[in-house]
A = this chain, B = another copy of it.
Amino acid sequence: MRNTHDSQSGSPESPIESAAGARGDGVDNIKDANSPSAGTTTTRIVLASRPHGEPTQDNFRTETANLQDPGEDEALLETLFLSLDPYMRGRMSDAESYADPVEIGDVVVGATVSRVLASGSPEFAEGDLVLGYGGWQTHSLEKTAHLRKLDKQAEVSPSTSLGVLGMPGFTAWAGMNNIGHPKEGETVVVAAATGPVGSMVGQVAKLAGARAVGIAGGPKKVEYLKELGFDAAIDHKAEDFEEQLAAATPDGIDVYYENVGGKVWEAVLPRLNTYARVPVCGLVSGYNSTELPEGPDRSGQLMGTILRKSLTIRGFIQTEYADQMGDFLEEMTPRVADGSVKFREDVVDGLDSAVDAFIGMLNGKNFGKLVVKVAD
C-alpha cells in the first residue's frame, strides 16, 4: 500500500491518517511486547550481506531483538516514520567513504521520526515527537544527545522533518547557498527534481530570481515539476533529452546541482557557462555500478573543461554546514507551512515494505520524498 502526500493539493490522503492499521505482517509480533516496563521488542532490518550492484531482498534480514529500558540520557522510542535516502546505498558498501559502512548484521541506518515511550532525561517526556537516527526498526534506544524534539515541523506534519524540512531539504538549501550561489537571471539545472533535494533546489533557485530547469523521469513527474514552479521541465527518458536540455537552457547553465551523475551530467557539462558552479551532493545513477564504464577515459577532458570554463566543482555533505540548520528552518518552516514552498511525499506502509521501496528508489520509482510509515 502506498500513499502520496502533496503539500499543494490539500490531498485528503494524509500520510498520518490514511494508513491506519495497514502495518504488514512482518511486524505484527511486536504488538504484544510493546510495553516499555517489560522490556521492548524491536523488529529490525539488518544488513545480511553487502549488495554487489543493485541490492536485493537477500541482502537484508528481518529479526527481532529486545531493548533495555532507557538509562540516564537515553530514550526508548517507537518509530513512526523512517526516511529512505540514496546515501544509504553507499553505507551498505565497504568502499572508503565519508562515513563508516553499516556492518553485516547491524541495523540499516536511517533518520526516523519517533515517539518517546520512556525517557531517562528530563529534556524528553513520554509522548514527545523526536527526530532521531533509529534506523530500519520499529523501536530504538537512543542517546538523547542525538535527538531533536520536533516543534514547528510537527505543525506541518512530522514526516516533513525527514524531507522538505529535514536532511534532504537542508542538503539542497545548503548546497545552493554555500556553493551554487544562484543569482537573479541565472539558469539553475537539477535532476531527480521531484525528489526532496531536487524540488528544494528548484524552489531555492526561484526564490533567488533564477530560472529553474528540472529534470525527471517520465511524463507524470515532468508534469509535477511545472506545479512546483520550475520554468522548464525535461524528461531524461526522452529520446531527444539533450535537445530538450539545450532548448530549455538557451543562455547556458550557471548552476548545476549534481545529485545523479551519469548521462545527465554528460549532457549538462557542454552547456555550463564560464564561472558555473556545480555543488555535488550525490551521484545516484552510479551507486549500483560494479565496474568502471568503457573508455575512452574522459577524466582529463573533464579537467580541461573545468579549466577552460573556470568551473567550480565542489563535493559536500550537508553535515559540513550543520551550524546553518537553524537558519534553514527559520527561513523554510513558515514557507512550507503557508504552502509557498511545496513538497511531495511518497509514503509506503509498514517496515516490511522498506526493502522493496529502497530498491525502487535507486531506480527512480519513488515520486517525492520516500518515507516508510512504521507506526501510527
Q: A residues within 8 Å of B by Cβ?
A: 96-98, 258, 261-262, 265, 274-275, 280-283, 286, 289, 291-317, 320
Contacts and interface: CB of A to CB of B under 8 A. Distances in A.
Given A286-B304, A306-B315, A296 B298 contact: no
Contact of A265 (B261, B275, B296, B303): B303
A283 B299 contact: no
A293 B296 contact: yes
5 contacts: A98-B310, A292-B297, A295-B295, A297-B298, A309-B315
Given A293-B295, A297-B296, A261 B303 contact: yes
A309 B97 CA distance: 8
For this chain, the copies found in one complex come to 2
Nearest to A266: B299
A31 to B, nearest CB: 42
Contact of A300 (B262, B303, B304): B262
Contacts of A291: 296
A311 B309 contact: no
A344 B96 CA distance: 42
A283 B301 contact: no
A53 to B, nearest CB: 15
A263 to B, nearest CB: 11
B310 A312 contact: no
Contacts of A274: 98
